Amino acid sequence: MQINNIIFMGTPDFAVPCLDKLHQNYNVTAVITQPDRPKGRGQHLAKSPVKVYAEEHNLPVYQPEKIKTAEFTEKLRQMQPDLIIVVAFGQILSQEILDIPKFGCINVHASLLPRWRGAAPIHWSIIGGDTETGVTTMYMDAGLDTGDMILKAKTVITPEMTTAQLHDALMMQGADLLIETIQSIENGTVSREKQDDSLSCYAKMLNNDNCRIDWKKSAQEVHNLVRGLNSWPIAYTTLNGKKFKIWQTKIVDADTTGKTPGQIIDLTKKGIIVATGNGAIELLQIQPPNKAKMPASSYINGHRQELSSDVSFI
């Protein structure tokens, strides 16, 4: 069988390599992405990365505020797609839309399903201390990332890897896996595997509460949070009522006897050593209020008195 008409739905950077691979190998007849949104200090309307790519390659772009309206559903039906490909689109598809394409709706999801379902699987795989993750292609159904799995590709999460680094690795891996998946559909060799719901975790949206460092947790857990939130939205803590974003840390061997979680233990040439609920961590790169991120050593040079062992991050 031959797939001639593909509709692509996606929004952020992560989706662009998938769209690029599709455009190189198949006939993409429409690109659907989120509406332009205010961005930056000036709050000027900004195009999504997927829209930028589509316009550069003369692909038709649609930006429905709500994709599940009867009007837009009918528009999709009139396009008569063979496949709809969804990669980090940002809206939930109705069952009516899922039923439109001849060969179904395929999603490229940034985890080894069913491990992390939800909005932020890359972040939570690192925050959760996973040593392995990957990309899964699946047939979409009405649930949240619950559809039958097709193919998987694995990636090792190294001890110091950040979400930014993992994101870039997975988005390229996902593009290759997508093409392999479509080829298997064309060749009639595609297989589908049901997910075991008991093995799933929910990768919930990141917010102010779950980005704050809980110093009562272990050094490893704090380190995982910091690298899992780098380069967005960034872990944070407070010192003397001031909010500090923490960009980079290192687990260190230090005596925490008599120290409370969050208490400063020592200042080194490179950073600030802080006690946790189990072990110690060194802050290497921080961002003080209203400042750019900087090496912790630079902040120490001008604020040594403020960083005495009598104070604690909270």
Within 10 angstroms of residue 44's Cβ, the number of other Cβ atoms is 10
Higher pLDDT, 2 or 88: 88
| pLDDT of amino acid 141 | 96
What does the DSSP assignment read for 216-277?
A: TSBHHHHHHHHHHTTTTT-EEEEETTEEEEEEEEEEE----TTPPTTBEEEE-SS-EEEE-S
Res 1: pLDDT: 79
Main-chain phi, psi angles of 162, to 5 degrees: -100, 165
Provide the pLDDT for residue 44.
87
Are 5 and 29 a contacting pair, CB within 8 Å? yes
In this predicted structure, what is the pLDDT of residue 215? 98
Over residues 264-290, the mean pLDDT reads: 97
pLDDT confidence tier of residue 244, bands split at 50, 70 and 90: very high
The tens digit of pLDDT for each residue in 102-120 reads 999 999 999 999 999 999 9
Residue 203 is predicted with a pLDDT of 96
Question: Which tokens belong to 125?
Answer: 């795989």
Q: Is the pLDDT of residue 131 over 90?
A: yes
Residues 6 or more apart whose Cβ sits within 8 Å of residue 257? none
Mean pLDDT of the chain: 96
Structure confidence at residue 310 (pLDDT) = 83
Which residues make beta-bridge pairs with 285?
248, 295
Express each pLDDT in 173-190 by its tens digit. 999 999 999 999 999 999
> What is the tens place of the pLDDT at every residue in 194-230?
999 999 999 999 999 999 999 999 999 999 999 999 9
Supply the DSSP string of 93-135, one letter for each residue. PPHHHHTSSTT-EEEEESSSTTSEEES-HHHHHHHTT-SEEEE
Q: Which of 175, 100, 110, 99 is nearest to 136 (CA)?
A: 110
What is the Cα gyration radius of the chain?
Answer: 23
Q: In this predicted model, what pLDDT tens digit does every residue of 262-276 receive, in sequence order?
A: 999 999 999 999 999
In the structure, what pLDDT confidence band is assigned to residue 90 with cuts at 50, 70 and 90?
A: very high
Asked whether residue 41 carries a pLDDT value surpassing 80, the answer given is: no
Average pLDDT over residues 38-42: 82
pLDDT category, 305, cuts 50, 70, 90? confident
Question: Each residue of 3-25: pLDDT tens digit?
Answer: 999 999 999 999 999 999 999 99
